[in-house]
Structure formats: structure tokens, C-alpha cells
Amino acid sequence: MTQICKLLIGTALTTLTATAAFAQTAAPAAGSLNPPAAPAAAGVDTPRETPDVAGLRTTAPAPQNLTAPGPTDPLAQKRDADAQANAEYRQQKKSAKSAYKGHVKEAKKLRKSDRQAANDQMKEQMQGVPAQSQGGNQRP
């Protein structure tokens, strides 16, 4: 029985608040002689027509996209801050990885040129040394 009473009271309160809210937005203010203006979205500029200029009818510029202010919920702020920190970390990691690859590439080029220089130097030294006799190593 108490559950039915709670359900009926909750339904009545919901209906009462819904009708009160509807009455506030739909009915004109008491004592107002002016008819209610057409409802417009809050903060949105509607294009207005300007008078004819040389037969052309122009409108005001298109409304700009409005952005909501940052969330005030601390969990939402933390989520946004974490997402931004993760994005920065990924960007730094990517730049560090590309810099590392560049260093490795330069080191490989340097090592290759060092090997080539060592081979050239060895070949020059071998050119000046007389060739040993055929038949392998000979002991004196």
C-alpha cells in the first residue's frame, strides 16, 4: 500500500511541476499588454533582412558556432587534462623516436664511411708491400 501511495504522490508532483514549467514558458506575463515575441534560441543570432539595395536583398552574416564553457565537474576536468597530457606525451614520444632514427641513420652512414676509409688505407698499404712468394708461409 505504501508503494502505491509513493507512486501516486510522485506522479502527481511530476505532473504538477511539468504543467507549472509549461505555464511559465507558454503564457505571457500577467499585466503585459504586448503580445509575446516569437521564441528564439538563447544566444543565437537569427539572420535579419536588410532593405533592398539596387534590387538585391542581403541577410546578416551567418551565426557563429557557439562553444560551451569548460565543464565544472572535477572528474570531467581531470579526464580532459589526462587526454591532453596523453596527447602531448604521444607527440613527444613520436618526435623522440624520429630523432633517434635520425641519429641511427647518421651513425650507420658514419660507420660505413669509416669502414670504406679503413679499406682504402689497407689497400694503399698492401700496394706498397712486395708480394710474398707462392707456396705459403716459409720458415727461415
Are the C-beta atoms of 71 and 77 separated by less than 8 Å? yes
Q: How many C-beta neighbours within 10 Å does residue 80 have?
A: 13
- Each residue's pLDDT, cut to its tens digit, for the chain (140 residues) gives 788 878 788 887 788 777 776 667 655 555 555 555 555 555 555 555 555 555 556 666 777 777 767 678 999 999 999 999 999 999 999 999 999 999 999 999 999 999 999 999 999 999 876 656 555 555 55
The C-alpha cell of 133 is what? 712468394
Triad 129, 134, 139: Cα angle to 5°: 85
Q: Structure pTM?
A: 0.37
Residue spans per domain, the chain: 72-127
